[in-house]
Amino acid sequence: MKTKTLAIVLGIGALLSIIAAAYGPAPSGSAVTGLFSFPFAQIGNLLRAMSLAGTFGNIAAILLYIALGLCPILLLLWRVIKKQVRIEDALLVIISPLLFFMMYLMVNPALIHKLFILGGMGEFGKAVLGGSFYSVLIGYLILRLLRRISRSKTAEMLKWLQLLFALIAAALVFSVFYLAVTGMIGTIQEVKNANTDPAVSLAMTNTIIVIRFVLQQIPVLLSVWGLILAIKLTAALKQDRYGEEAVTAAGRLGAFSKLTVAVTVICSIAANILQLIFRGSLNSHFSIHVPFAPLVLMLIMLVLAQYFADSSKLHQDNQLFI
């Protein structure tokens, strides 16, 4: 994986996220629930429309419903025939009836109201059903991936590790340039709506909100670059596990991880003290932020970098001794 290409893709993603956050609609609760129920709610609406279209449409809808629900079982049978079945494939026996149950309620959304104690939870109920199904499906895929990685050679494991680092970096970029930016814009808008006196200037409050946002996101951005350095390290390890390039890459990652941890702690302290000093301007928009995720991520990177650097140096010392 080329780090330059990844950096360009992440940069483009950051730019698009900023544009979407600044000019697009803010993420709403209905959008989130719609994401969890996609595409099952849409398929359920299609099957319902086919069923109401007439006898032929009803038969076609039933056949499609059965075919969809049997897909996990058919996959299990195919793996049994190929003698590739493993213990995690037992989850397919759970996924199939869960899919039947979920799709039946998607086709008949009126029954969803009876599923929950509180009424009027149609869309939310669809999101709960979809989220439950996705949790089992993702769990099955993770177990499959874990078995594949455990049986892979070192080069393939490093390739999977590079992909994991790239996905985490993409998620962090999205969290900073879309989720965090929309959150900051929403906070500024809330302050503006809460201000009942047009003569009161909100410049100081907005400035503090922006500064707090910057201080809170600096550690996340540093973590993204740390992940890129980690990808460089895995690439060097694929070429030569004990080579000079691997030692250099591990040293760079270790030094940057130490710097990131220090900057993360300083930014967290600065952001919290800033809020305390200007608490009068922030009013109810005071929030304590402790960046556990970037800290844990960089500490793990630091340990791994130090381990690979020490291993490579020990190997080189042994070669000189021999």
Q: What is the pLDDT along the chain (322 residues), one digit of tens a residue?
A: 578 888 899 999 999 988 888 876 666 555 666 778 888 888 999 999 998 888 898 999 999 999 999 999 999 999 999 888 889 999 999 999 999 999 999 998 888 877 765 555 667 788 888 989 999 999 998 888 888 877 777 777 778 888 888 998 999 999 889 888 888 888 888 877 777 766 666 777 788 888 888 988 998 899 999 899 888 888 887 777 667 777 788 888 888 888 888 898 898 888 888 877 776 665 555 566 666 777 777 777 777 777 666 666 665 666 655 5
Residue 108's closest CA among 30, 29, 51? Answer: 51
Burial (Cβ within 10 Å: 0-12, 13-18, ≥19) of residue 275: buried
pLDDT (0 to 100) of residue 61: 92
Residue 191 contacts residue 146 (beta carbons within 8 Å):
no
Residue 243 contacts residue 277 (beta carbons within 8 Å):
no
Distance CA 231, CA 167 (A): 11
**Residues sharing a CB contact under 8 Å with residue 64, sequence separation 6 or more, in sequence order:** 47, 50
The size of the chain, in residues, is 322
Q: 197 phi and psi, to 5 degrees?
A: -110, 105
Residue 274's closest CA among 217, 207, 216, 212? Answer: 212
Distance CA 146, CA 133 (A): 20
Distance CA 320, CA 322 (A): 5
The tokens describing 112, both together, are 């969803």
Distance CA 47, CA 65 (A): 8
CA 278 to chain centre: 33
Q: Which long-range contacts (CB under 8 A, 24 or more apart) does 296-300 make?
A: 297/168, 297/223, 297/226, 297/227, 298/222, 298/223, 298/226, 298/257, 298/260, 298/261, 298/264, 299/257, 299/261
Residue 95's closest CA among 75, 116, 124? Answer: 75
Q: Which long-range contacts (CB under 8 A, 24 or more apart) does 117-125 make?
A: 123/30, 123/33, 123/34, 123/37, 124/33
* pTM for this entry: 0.71
DSSP state of 202: -
pLDDT in tens, 265-285: 898 888 888 877 776 665 555
Distance CA 196, CA 177 (A): 30
pLDDT in tens, 99-143: 999 999 999 888 887 776 555 566 778 888 898 999 999 999 888
Q: How far is CA 116 from CA 72, 212, 271, in A?
A: 27, 41, 42
